[in-house]
Chain A
Amino acid sequence: MTKHDIAELLPFYANGTLDAAERVRVETELATCAECSAELRELEGLGASLKAHAATAGPLPARILDDALARISAAVPPVAVTKLRTEWWGGPARYATAAALVVGFGAAAVAAYHAHEADLTRTTNGSAASDQVASTTVFRAGQMHQIHIDKSANNPVGAAVPPGSHDAPKSETTAAKQHRLAKKAHIDLLVRDVEASLKAVQSIVRGAGGEIVSLADSSPRTADAVHDAKLDVEVPADRLESTLDRIGTAGTVQNRAIEAEDVDATIVDEEARLRNLRREEIDLRTLMDKGGKVTDILTVQENLSEVRGQIEQLEAQHKNDVHRVATSTISIQMAEDRPNLTPAKPGPTARIDGAWHSGLNALTDTVISLLTTIAWCVAYAPIPLALAGITYAAIRLLRRRTASA
Chain B
Amino acid sequence: MNDPDDRTLLERIAARDRVAFETFFRAHGPAVHRFVRDLVRDDGLAEELTSDVMVEVWRSAGKYGGRSRARTWVFGIAHHKAIDALRKRRATLVPLDDLLGAASDAIGPEEAALRADDRQRLDEALAALSADHRAVLELTYVEGFSQKDIAEIVNCPVATVKTRAFYAKQRLRDALATAEHRG
Q: List which B87-142 residues lie within 8 A (CB) of chain A.
A: 91, 93, 108-111, 113-114, 119, 122-123, 126, 137-138, 140-142
- Digitize B72-91: 1 where CB-to-A-CB distance is under 8 Å, 0 elsewhere: 00000000000000000001
Inter-chain CA distance A103–B144, complex, in Å, is 60
A12 touches B29 (CB 8 A): no
| Residues of A contacting B144 in the complex (Cβ-Cβ under 8 angstroms) | 15-17
A44 touches B44 (CB 8 A): no
Q: Which of A50, A69, A279, A280 contacts B141 (CB 8 A)?
A: A50
CB distance from B182 to the nearest CB of A (A): 13
9-residue interface stretch from A71-79, A215-223, A334-342, A397-405? A71-79
In the assembled complex, A387 has its CB within 8 A of some CB on chain B = no
CB distance from A285 to the nearest CB of B (A): 12
Inter-chain CA distance A203–B142, complex, in Å, is 71
In the assembled complex, B4 has its CB within 8 A of some CB on chain A = no
If the complex has contacts A53-B122, A60-B50, A68-B51, are A46 and B59 also in contact, measured as CB distance less than 8 A? no
Inter-chain CA distance A59–B141, complex, in Å, is 20
A276 touches B55 (CB 8 A): no
| Residues of A contacting B5 in the complex (Cβ-Cβ under 8 angstroms) | none
B114 touches A75 (CB 8 A): no
Q: Which of A7, A50, A75 contacts B55 (CB 8 A)?
A: A75
In the assembled complex, A236 has its CB within 8 A of some CB on chain B = no
- Digitize A252-275: 1 where CB-to-B-CB distance is under 8 Å, 0 elsewhere: 000000000000000000001000
Inter-chain CA distance A7–B18, complex, in Å, is 45
B residues neighboring A (CB under 8 Å): 16, 18, 21-22, 25-26, 29-30, 33-34, 37-38, 43-45, 47-48, 50-51, 54-55, 58-59, 62, 91, 93, 108-111, 113-114, 119, 122-123, 126, 137-138, 140-142, 144-147, 149, 162-163, 165-166, 169, 172
Inter-chain CA distance A303–B44, complex, in Å, is 13
CB distance from A388 to the nearest CB of B (A): 50
B138 touches A50 (CB 8 A): yes
If the complex has contacts A11-B169, A54-B38, A60-B30, are A71 and B122 also in contact, measured as CB distance less than 8 A? no
| Residues of A contacting B111 in the complex (Cβ-Cβ under 8 angstroms) | 45
B110 touches A49 (CB 8 A): yes
A43 touches B44 (CB 8 A): no
Q: Which of A7, A12, A68 contacts B140 (CB 8 A)?
A: A12
- Please list 10 pairs of residues, one from A and one from B, whose beta carbons are closer than 8 Å in the complex, sorted by A's number: A9-B162, A12-B147, A17-B144, A42-B109, A59-B30, A64-B33, A68-B21, A72-B55, A72-B58, A78-B62
Inter-chain CA distance A18–B148, complex, in Å, is 10
Inter-chain CA distance A60–B172, complex, in Å, is 27
In the complex formed, the residue of B with least CB distance to A7 is B166
* A residues contacting the other copy or chain, number (CB 8 A): 47
| Residues of B contacting A232 in the complex (Cβ-Cβ under 8 angstroms) | none
Question: What 6 A-B pairs have minimum CB-CB distances, sorted nearest first?
Answer: A45-B110, A17-B146, A49-B113, A280-B44, A8-B162, A47-B141
A residues neighboring B (CB under 8 Å): 4, 7-9, 11-12, 14-18, 41-51, 53-54, 56-57, 59-61, 63-65, 67-69, 71-72, 75, 77-78, 272, 276, 279-280, 283, 299, 303
A49 touches B142 (CB 8 A): no
B109 touches A46 (CB 8 A): yes
| Residues of B contacting A68 in the complex (Cβ-Cβ under 8 angstroms) | 21, 25, 50-51, 54-55, 58
A45 touches B108 (CB 8 A): yes
A15 touches B140 (CB 8 A): yes
A69 touches B169 (CB 8 A): no
CB distance from A57 to the nearest CB of B (A): 5
Inter-chain CA distance A67–B44, complex, in Å, is 13
A46 touches B119 (CB 8 A): no
| Residues of A contacting B113 in the complex (Cβ-Cβ under 8 angstroms) | 45-46, 49
Q: Tell me which of A60, A67, A71 has the highest count of chain B C-beta atoms within 10 A of its own C-beta.
A: A60
| Residues of A contacting B30 in the complex (Cβ-Cβ under 8 angstroms) | 59-60
Inter-chain CA distance A233–B108, complex, in Å, is 74
